[in-house]
Structure 1
Amino acid sequence: MNKHFDVIVIGGGHAGVEAALASARLNKKTALINLYKDRIAAMPCNPSIGGPAKGIVVREIDALGGEMAKAADKTALQTKLLNSSRGPGVWALRVQSDKEEYSKYMQNVVETQSNLELIEAIASDLVIDDNSVKGVVLNNGDIINATCVILTTGTYLKSEILTGHEKYSSGPNEEPTSNGISQSLKKAGIELFRFKTGTPPRIFKNSVDLSKAIKEPGTNAKLAFSFSTDEYTPIENQELCYLIHSTPETKKIIEDNLTKSAMYSGKVESIGPRYCPSFEDKIVRFSSKETHQIFIEPESLKGDAWYIQGFSTSMPTDIQLLMIRSLPGFEKAEVKTWAYAIEYDCINPMQLKPSLELKNISNLFTAGQINGTSGYEEAAGQGLIAGINASRKVDNLEPLILRRDEAYIGVMIDDLINKGVWEPYRLLTSRAEHRLLLRNDNAEHRLKEKGFQIGLIKDQEYNKYLNYTQEINEAIKELEEIRFTPKSKLAIELKELGQADLNHGYSGIEILKIPTVDINVMIPHIKSLQSLKNNQLQSIVIETRFAGYVKTERKTVERLIKLEKKKIPSNIDYDKIENLATEARQKLKKVMPLNIGQASRITGVNPADIQMLLFYLKNNYANEQM
C-alpha cells in the first residue's frame, strides 16, 4: 500500500476508538486498523460503563471531547448513581450497556468520521528505524507509513487462552492474536511482561429461574454521562439486574477441583487483577467465607444470555458446569459461552513519557491494556490523551498533560509512569488525593476549556457550557443577595418539613449551607433556580456546603503546582548528585522526570532525595529557568 497517514491507531477497542476519533477530529489523516469492523469498541467482558472513579473518567472524557459518554447514554439499559449516601467526592454514575448497540453506535461514528479510514486487517509488525516508528506492517505484507503510531492492542499481544489444563494461542473469543509487534518492541529494547484477565460464562436466559434472586433496579433520577445529552430523564422501562449468592456447594466444588484450575495448576505464568479476581481465587483468598455475591446482568435487549458478574474462572468446562448449577436458580442452567482466562503481553509503563509516548521510540504512543491497566474507562481515557498528543506531535505542539488535581485521567497516567504496575491497574477513588476536587458534578468546570483550546470541543458546545456556567453563577449571586425572615413562606415550609428552624434572618446561601435543607424545597422561592438542570443544582449545593474544604484543598494544590514548575533539565546526570539513595538514583534515571513534582511522586524517591536533587539543581543550573 502506497499510503501515508499522520496517525495510525492499531486496535479498535475503547482506547483505539477514542485515539482515532481524537486524531481525525483534530484534522489529522488517521487510519484505524482492526480485524473486524463489527467488533469496534466491543465489550468482551462486563457489559457496563462507569462505576466508582471510572464513571468520573467517562465524564472527563466527555468534557475533553471524547465519545464514550455519548455512546453510554445512547445505549444504556439501566442507569444507577453509586455511593449517593456518601460524600460527593465518591459519587459515580454507572450504566448497564446494551453491548451490541454500543458497538454498533461506535462503528457508525468511526465510519462516518471525516479524516478517518477504517482498515480491516491485522497489524503484524512495526517499522522502526533509528529509534523512531515509521509505519505498520499488515498481515498481508503491506506497509502503511505514518508520522505517529498509537498501540491500543488490548489483550491481543501474544495472547493465550487458558481453560483448565488447556492453553493455546488465541485472542479473546477465538480471534487471532498478534506476535510480531511484541517482537518489534523487544528488539527495540522495550521491557514487556505478562498479565492475565478473565471472563465469566454466559448463560441462556430461558434456562434459569431468578424468582428468588434479589432485584437490582436502576436509579429513578435525571442522570446522564454526557454534557450534550439534553434530556436528563430516567430511562423508560429500565432493565433489571439481579443479585444472588454462591452456595457452600459451590465452594466445595472449587476446593475439590482446585488443581484443575489453570490458575492453580501452574499453567498461568502471569499476574491477574486484584480487584476482579477469578472465583476460585476468591475461595482461596477468603477461605472463611461460605458464600459470595454474584450479579446477574443483561448483555443486550436482543441477546438471549445473562452475564454472570463476579464468576470468572479458568476451570475446565465440566467443572464450570458443576459450579454454575450449584447456584440458586441455576440448577438447570445451559451455557452459551464458557468462561476462560487470557494471558497477554504489556509494556512496563514507566518507559512512557507523560504524553504516553515511549521514551526510547520516538512517535510511538501506547494506551489501554498494553500499558498494564484494566477496564474500558481507563483504556478510553488513555486513548483520548494518546490521540490528542500524537496529533499535537505531528504539529510540533506541546502535549496535553493533566495534573493529578485536574482529572482522574491525570492521576492514572501519573501513577503508571511514576509508580509502574505489578498487577493490572484499576482506577479507585482512593488513588486520588484530591478527590474532593475531582467530582462527578464538576468535570466540565475542570476540563471543558482545555477541550475547547485543543480543538475537540466546538464553538456551539462551548458556548452552551459558558451559558450553563453563567446560569450557575447568577443563581449563586441571587442566593447570596436574597434574605428570608423566620415568618417567610420558605422558613415556615422548612420548619414543617423538619429541615431547618430559622430563628432569625438568613440569606439563601446561608440556608443552603444547612446540611438538612433540600435545595428542591428552595426552588419555588428563588427564581434563578427554577430553570436549572439537576447537575447545576447539584454543583451549587456541593460548592456551597464544601466551600471551606475546597478552598483548603486548592491551597494545597497551589503549593504542589510550584513543584511542577521546577523543571529538571533533560541532560541531568543523576550519578553526579551526591548523597542520593541508590534506589532513588536508579528510579530517577529510569523515569527521567520532567520536574520536581513528578520526581517526588516516584516510588522509592524520598523527601531527603528531593532535597539533594534541589540542592544540586541550585548549584549547577542556577542560570537556567526553573
Structure 2
Amino acid sequence: MNKKFDVVVIGGGHAGVEAALSSARLNKKTALINLYKDRIAAMPCNPSIGGPAKGIVVREIDALGGEMAKAADKTALQTKLLNSSRGPGVWALRVQSDKEEYSKYMQKIVIEQDNLKLIEAAATELIIDNNKIKGVKLSTGETIEAKAVILTTGTYLKSEILTGHEKFSSGPNEEPTTTGISKSLKDSGIELFRFKTGTPPRIYKNSVDLSRAIKEPGTNAKLAFSFLTSKYTPIENQELCYLIHSTNDTKKIIEENLTKSAMYSGKVDSIGPRYCPSFEDKIVRFSSKETHQIFIEPESLKGDAWYIQGFSTSMPIDIQLLMIRSLPGFENAEVKTWAYAIEYDCINPMQLKPSLELKAIENLFTAGQINGTSGYEEAAGQGLIAGINATRKIDNLEPLILRRDEAYIGVMIDDLINKGVWEPYRLLTSRAEHRLLLRNDNAESRLKAKGFEIGLVKKVEYDLYLKYVKEIDEAIKELEEIRFTPKSELALKLKELNQADLKHGYSGIEILKIPTVDINEMIPYVSKLQNLKNNQLQSIVIETRFAGYVKTERQTVERLIKLEKKKIPFDIDYDKVENLATEARQKLKKVKPLNIGQASRITGVNPADIQMLLFYLKNTYANDEKVH
C-alpha cells in the first residue's frame, strides 16, 4: 500500500463517497477507508432519495459535479414530484431507490475512479500533531499519512444498538463500531455529544396481504435529478408503494408496554430526530390521534421484503411482533429484520468553519451525521463541500462557501455552524428564507458555473448547460413576440379546457401569466417550447408568473450580500467591542464569524450587537483593506 495521500476520507457512506470522488476528480491522490467494499453508499434506513428540500439538495449536488443524482436516476424504482399542488418554492422530486443497485452503482464508480484507492479497513485513531492532522492509524496496524482528512463516519462512532432493555456496542446491522476516533477528537479538545436514530422492521412480502392498502403510484412526468439524465422510467415500469394506517390495537399495545421501549426505559441518554421519530414517540407526542400513516415500500427488485416506513421502534422483539401484526393486512406477517435504535457520537458543529474544517484541528474536515445531521442527502451535500474544500485548502485556494440564497446546502451548513444542533438536523423548506430562489428547476442556473469553475463540471457538460439556458431565453423571446387572437386554435382550446377565456389579442407571455393555463397546452403553438425539458418549462412558468416576487427577493439578497462582504478579522478581540450583550460576546467568541452577515445569523446576536460591532470595525480597522 502507498501510505501517503493528499486526502484521506474515513467512511464510505453517502458523505464519504461524494467527498472522495470530488477530491480524486480534482486531481488529489485520495484514499477512501471503509470496512467493506460491498457497503459503499449503503442505505441502512429508508431506500429513497429526495423529498421536500432534500430533493433540491440532490439537484444542487448534481449542478456542482457530484454523483448522487446520477445514481438515484439510474436505480429508481418509482419517481414522484411532491407538493406539486402547492407553490413552486416547495416542489420536490423523490425516488424510491433500489438499495442494492444503488450501492453497486456507487461501488463501481468508486473503484473505477482515477486517483482514488479504496482501503477495506477500520480507522482506529487520528494522528494529530500540534493541532494539525497528519494521518490515520488503521485496524491493520498500518499508518497512512495525509495532507487533509475528512471524517464521514455516519453512525459508527462509539455506536450502541438498543432494543427494549438490551443495549450493546455495535454499528448498524451488527457491523463493528469504532471508539478510537472519538478518543482522538476528545483528546484534542473537540466537544462531542450523543444522538440517536432508528430503523423500522423489514417484513417478508409473501406474508403480507395488501388488498386493503391504498396504492401509491409514481408519476409519468419526465423528471430526473441529474442534468445529464435523458432516459426516464415510464409509469408502467415503476414499482408500487402502498399506504396503510395503524389501528387502535397498535396504539393500545404501545401504551401498555411503553416502559419496555429503550426510549422510555431510561436506557437512552441521547436525543432522537424530531421529524422522523420512533412510532412509540408518535403515540406519546400525539396522544389524541388514534391512527398514523405507514408507507409500505420496496427495497429492491431482487428483495423479498417490504420496508415499513414510519414504523421505527426500539421496542423488544416480542412487542414488535404484536405491533406489526396489529396492522391491517399484517396479521400473519413474518419479520426478516427487526427494528432497532442506535446511539452514536457526533461533534458540536459550531466548532466548524464554513468550509467544514474544524477550527481547532487544521486540515481536518467533517461531513454528514458526525456533524449532527440526518439523511442521505444532507450527508452527500456536506461530503461534496468537504471534499472540494479539502482540496482547495491543500492548493491554498479560498474555500467554496455557498450563501443561503444560493443553495439549500448553504442554508444547512450556515445553520449548523452558527446555530448548532440540539437534535438530529433535517433540511426543511421552512429553514430557507429565500426558498423562491432555491427551487427544484433552477439548480443549474444557481450552481453550474461554480461547478465548472471548481473543475468538477467538465466543459462538455457546461456547454450543454449554456445551450440549455439559451433555449430558455429563445423560448421566452418567442413567447413575448407571438400573439394569439380570441379565435386562434390555442384560444379556443384553452376556453374548452376552462383554462382561459381570451377576450382580445394576447402575447404568449401574457397568456402564460394566467395562473390556470398549463404551459403544455401551449407547446404545439410555440416552436421554441417543443424540445424543452421539464425543468426548462418549469423555469419559464415560474420566472414569468412570479417575476415580481423573484425580483423583490433578489433585491433583498443584494442587500444581504453587502453584509457578507464586510469581513471580520479572525484575531478580533470581542472583549474590546463596547456595549455588546454578554450572550452576543460569548457566541461571537465561540463561532468566530468570518463576516457581518454570518455574525448576524448567530443565535443570541441581536441587531444592536451588530451595530456595535460595525462601529468598532469602522474605527479600529479603518485602513485595513481585508476588512473593507
For Structure 1 versus Structure 2, the TM-score category normalised by the shorter chain is over 0.9
- State how 1:398-477 maps to structure 2 within 5 Å: 398-477=398-477
SS of residue in 2 equivalent to 1:137: strand
Which has the higher mean CA deviation after the structures are superposed, 563-572 or 233-242? 233-242
- State how 1:197-276 maps to structure 2 within 5 Å: 197-232=197-232, 234-276=234-276
Provide, for residues 332-383 of structure 1, a one-character-per-residue CA deviation record: whole Å limited to 9, x for no partner.
Answer: 1111101100000000000000000000000000000000000000000000
Residue 592 (structure 1) aligns with: 592
Residue 316 (structure 1) aligns with: 316
Q: Tell me how far apart the structure 1 counterparts of residues 533 and 596 of structure 2 sit (CA, whole Å).
A: 42
Tell whether the 8 Å contact from 2:273 to 2:423 is kept in structure 1 after alignment.
Answer: yes
| 2:94 counterpart letter in structure 1 | R
Tell whether the 8 Å contact from 1:214 to 1:243 is kept in structure 2 after alignment.
Answer: yes
Residue 17 (structure 1) aligns with: 17
Q: Tell me how far apart the structure 1 counterparts of residues 499 and 280 of structure 2 sit (CA, whole Å).
A: 49
Tell whether the 8 Å contact from 1:54 to 1:378 is kept in structure 2 after alignment.
Answer: yes
Post-superposition offset of 1:519? 1.2
Residue 482 (structure 1) aligns with: 482
Residue 187 (structure 1) aligns with: 187
CA-based RMSD: 0.9
The answer on 1:95 being equivalent to 2:95 is yes
Tell whether the 8 Å contact from 2:219 to 2:235 is kept in structure 1 after alignment.
Answer: no
The answer on 1:511 being equivalent to 2:511 is yes
Post-superposition offset of 1:624? 1.4
Residue 388 (structure 1) aligns with: 388
Q: Tell me how far apart the structure 2 counterparts of residues 302 and 504 of structure 1 sit (CA, whole Å).
A: 58
Post-superposition offset of 1:235? 4.9
Tell whether the 8 Å contact from 1:221 to 1:233 is kept in structure 2 after alignment.
Answer: no
| 2:44 counterpart letter in structure 1 | P
Kindly report structure 1 stretches of 4+ aligned residues shifted beyond 6 Å: none
Post-superposition offset of 1:231? 2.3
- State how 1:541-552 maps to structure 2 within 5 Å: 541-552=541-552
Q: Tell me how far apart the structure 2 counterparts of residues 428 and 520 of structure 1 sit (CA, whole Å).
A: 30
TM-score (norm 2): 0.99
Provide, for residues 246-268 of structure 1, a one-character-per-residue CA deviation record: whole Å limited to 9, x for no partner.
Answer: 11111111111111111111000
| 1:270 counterpart letter in structure 2 | S
Tell whether the 8 Å contact from 1:18 to 1:67 is kept in structure 2 after alignment.
Answer: yes
Residue 579 (structure 2) aligns with: 579
Q: Tell me how far apart the structure 2 counterparts of residues 604 and 385 of structure 1 sit (CA, whole Å).
A: 27
Post-superposition offset of 1:232? 4.0
SS of residue in 1 equivalent to 2:125: strand
Provide, for residues 386-437 of structure 1, a one-character-per-residue CA deviation record: whole Å limited to 9, x for no partner.
Answer: 0000011111111000000000000000000000000000000000000000
Post-superposition offset of 1:3? 1.4
Residue 66 (structure 2) aligns with: 66
Provide, for residues 195-235 of structure 1, a one-character-per-residue CA deviation record: whole Å limited to 9, x for no partner.
Answer: 00000011111111111011111112111110010124535
Residue 496 (structure 1) aligns with: 496
Post-superposition offset of 1:503? 1.8
SS of residue in 2 equivalent to 1:441: coil
| 1:385 counterpart letter in structure 2 | I
Post-superposition offset of 1:156? 0.2
Q: Percent of pairs identical after alignment?
A: 88
- State how 1:361-380 maps to structure 2 within 5 Å: 361-380=361-380
- State how 1:2-81 maps to structure 2 within 5 Å: 3-81=3-81
| 2:290 counterpart letter in structure 1 | E
Tell whether the 8 Å contact from 1:485 to 1:502 is kept in structure 2 after alignment.
Answer: yes
Residue 559 (structure 1) aligns with: 559
| 1:524 counterpart letter in structure 2 | P
Tell whether the 8 Å contact from 2:98 to 2:301 is kept in structure 1 after alignment.
Answer: yes
| 1:500 counterpart letter in structure 2 | A
- Count matched residues: 626
Q: Tell me how far apart the structure 2 counterparts of residues 334 and 498 of structure 1 sit (CA, whole Å).
A: 51
Post-superposition offset of 1:588? 0.2
Q: Tell me how far apart the structure 2 counterparts of residues 233 and 518 of structure 1 sit (CA, whole Å).
A: 23
Provide, for residues 67-101 of structure 1, a one-character-per-residue CA deviation record: whole Å limited to 9, x for no partner.
Answer: 00000000000001100000000000000000000
The answer on 1:360 being equivalent to 2:346 is no
Provide, for residues 485-525 of structure 1, a one-character-per-residue CA deviation record: whole Å limited to 9, x for no partner.
Answer: 22322222222322222222211111111111111221111
| 1:481 counterpart letter in structure 2 | E
Q: Tell me how far apart the structure 2 counterparts of residues 63 and 590 of structure 1 sit (CA, whole Å).
A: 33
Q: Tell me how far apart the structure 2 counterparts of residues 141 and 496 of structure 1 sit (CA, whole Å).
A: 76
SS of residue in 1 equivalent to 2:77: strand
Would the alpha carbon gap of residues 235 and 449 (structure 1) be closer, same or farther in structure 2, given more than 3 Å must change? Answer: farther
| 1:404 counterpart letter in structure 2 | R
Which has the higher mean CA deviation after the structures are superposed, 417-426 or 485-494? 485-494
Tell whether the 8 Å contact from 1:83 to 1:92 is kept in structure 2 after alignment.
Answer: yes
TM-score (norm 1): 0.99
Post-superposition offset of 1:2? 5.4
Residue 153 (structure 1) aligns with: 153
Q: Tell me how far apart the structure 1 counterparts of residues 6 and 124 of structure 2 sit (CA, whole Å).
A: 20
Q: Tell me how far apart the structure 2 counterparts of residues 2 and 502 of structure 1 sit (CA, whole Å).
A: 72
Q: Tell me how far apart the structure 1 counterparts of residues 261 and 232 of structure 2 sit (CA, whole Å).
A: 46
Residue 339 (structure 1) aligns with: 339
Residue 106 (structure 1) aligns with: 106
Tell whether the 8 Å contact from 1:355 to 1:386 is kept in structure 2 after alignment.
Answer: yes
Q: Tell me how far apart the structure 2 counterparts of residues 296 and 504 of structure 1 sit (CA, whole Å).
A: 52
SS of residue in 1 equivalent to 2:336: strand
Tell whether the 8 Å contact from 1:29 to 1:115 is kept in structure 2 after alignment.
Answer: yes
| 1:74 counterpart letter in structure 2 | K
Q: Tell me how far apart the structure 2 counterparts of residues 535 and 563 of structure 1 sit (CA, whole Å).
A: 32
Tell whether the 8 Å contact from 1:77 to 1:235 is kept in structure 2 after alignment.
Answer: no
Residue 133 (structure 2) aligns with: 133
SS of residue in 1 equivalent to 2:441: helix
